[in-house]
A and B are shown apart, each in its own frame.
Chain A
Amino acid sequence: MTDIRAILQTDLVTEPTRHVLTERLNAPRRQPAFFTADEFALLRAICDRLIPQDDRSDAERVDIAGGIDERLTENKSNGWRYDEMPPDRDAYQLGLRGINQSAELVFGKPFVALSTEQQDSVLKAVQALDSPDSAWQTLPADRFFEELLAEAVENYYSHPLAQAEIDYVGFADAKGWEL
């Protein structure tokens, strides 16, 4: 795996690039400001299934849920929203509630208390629109899942440690590339 911290210190990386990547590498884990503590714990548990990081120490884990909380706190948009979806803040609150209700209806326990296999089966059902209807009356489950997954993936793979995991070195382009 690429040693990101070492590469960032070299002149292969431009100053603006070094600046943003170092800041992201060193960002502390976030205390939620938009989500309640329970919602945030649930969101973290979901993100851990979408993009597992079991092989990382706590200090090295990419804070995927923290990035979502930060965006929603600032009420920032990525420029578009499916018309059938409520505004992002409402969507996340409804969606988290929906996932928890699905867990309760199928397994009789909240999502965070389930085994990882059970958690995965809840998420699969949400994605495939196979969840119990009653949990998803005001929100299209598949769209919510798509949005959540896309945001989680963007947050994760924007992080230098995740980029190292896939051997991506495109940021070290100060001298350009030979083809």
Chain B
Amino acid sequence: MSALTDDTLPMTPRAMRDEMIVFAVMAALLAVVPFTGIYPFFVMQALCFALLACAFNLLIGYGGLLSFGHAMFLGTAGYVSAHALKVWGLPPELGIVAGTAAAALLGLVTGFISIRRQGIYFSMITLALSQLLYFIYLQAPFTHGEDGIQGIPQGHLFGIFDLSKPTVLYYVVLVGFLAGFLLIYRTINSPFGEVLKSIRENEPRAISLGYKTDQYKMLAYILSGTLAGFAGSLKVFVAQNASLTDVHWSMSGEIVLMTLVGGLGTIFGPVVGAFVIIAMQQYLAGFGQWVTVIQGVIFVACVLLFRRGLVGELAHLLRRSL
């Protein structure tokens, strides 16, 4: 059985330098967005999904675990943050903390149930768990069912930054994204990340070397869920609502699609994938249901023709690690 991601290059100083350069270019490009006339809300939304896809990629690309229920972290954190801001009246920073903490707790609970099964069973369990939560949120009073939580106050972050100003909000979201991205990058290149990769490549061997692989996978799962939740909390400030769409399983499918398009197990792939898919939804909105068909075609094309994804193919072509 061939692994999900092939030809991962060893972590050489050159690879590290390449990645740093690309990161600097990415950060610089994103930083100038408010001065270019590009619609900032589009980029903010894409950034939230990019962080979400990166968090998801940490799990599948490096741990070999395909979670098909990652929308539950996005949705749960979104609901908790929204509730904390609107009903409890917490300041933005505590709202984000509350949402992210809820996602971490959810990761702990669902991880305990799902992590013991591998491969497609793991995928099906995460999918079923997220659907369980979907029905709970559909019926729970605090989520307001189909209406969702709307009109969320954005407030002042740390009492200073006025989040109702698009430019301020943009930079806050950007800083959040870059911080999450760097944390994932650091994790992947840590000894912990190396063990994770070895589990992906050959779990029985990792076990025989004495690693308690379940604990590593569990930690990766919780970290991934927490960061996905962080993305969900940020998204509340951008969208100013929290709704059932974010918990529905089709959202989990979209997260998978973003990562697959960009490249599973590549560092920058999920970011590119998220921007491509969000842009597609933005510009193809007029096609109605055909968007679903187009997404399906992209899925099929990615799996059959370019499994490495856009960034993965590019990295392969250039013989670089990206």
- Physical interaction between A and B: no
The residues of B with any CB-CB pair to A shorter than 8 Å are none
